[in-house]
A and B are shown apart, each in its own frame.
Chain A
């Protein structure tokens, strides 16, 4: 069964500094996708970044990058140059497949990030 672990319930970072949010995953599949989502206090869920299990390079999307270490089964999110608007809850998620688990995503419990001015 797939499982996502986010060990940091809350994190603080100073504005303009970089921060790393941890995510480890457990799967027996060779083919899977890893995702990060942002949930601001307004409640909507926003997709940030994706990493495929066969991708050799770490994914980047603007100030977001995903530090993918396949052997350690970790997929940490790095936010560079933090902004006040980055204060939110961040969720790591995984989807296995193809196969019987295709279409089913599992989410971690989230990390609440607070950016200090």
Chain B
């Protein structure tokens, strides 16, 4: 089925460890983004991309890196995990411009840093 695939769904890390959250979409969407959602709160933008080779920082980029070498993939790397990064992470993609459709979201990754 077409959509956004995020892996893993759950992850527990120790403080200081690094890891990569994977995100892939098969809809040929130009835009891709990573958000984090803390309990009871809205989504905050970490990094986003408007096309392969183009990325930019969002509202809360510190401690995270991204790259976009292909249209399909947009991995998020945690450099040195901290308890403050405990959150649910969503990857999302969409067409560029304002076609009448919003983001398609992945199912989320629930990350706990101990």
Contacts and interface: CB of A to CB of B under 8 A. Distances in A.
Interface of A: 31-33, 35, 37, 43-48, 50, 52, 59, 91, 93, 95, 97-98, 102-110
A103 B50 contact: yes
Contacts of A35: 102-103
B10 to A, nearest CB: 12
Is the interface on chain B under 10, 10 to 19, 20 to 34, or 35 or more residues?
20 to 34
B67 to A, nearest CB: 16
A106 B35 CA distance: 10
A35 to B, nearest CB: 4
Contacts of A105: 33, 45, 103
B96 A102 contact: yes
Given A91-B42, A98-B97, A103 B48 contact: yes
A38 to B, nearest CB: 11
Q: Which residue of A31, A47, A104, A108 has the most chain B CB atoms within 10 A of its CB atom?
A: A104
Q: Which residue of A44, A97, A105 has the most chain B CB atoms within 10 A of its CB atom?
A: A105
Contact of A106 (B45, B56, B92, B108): B45
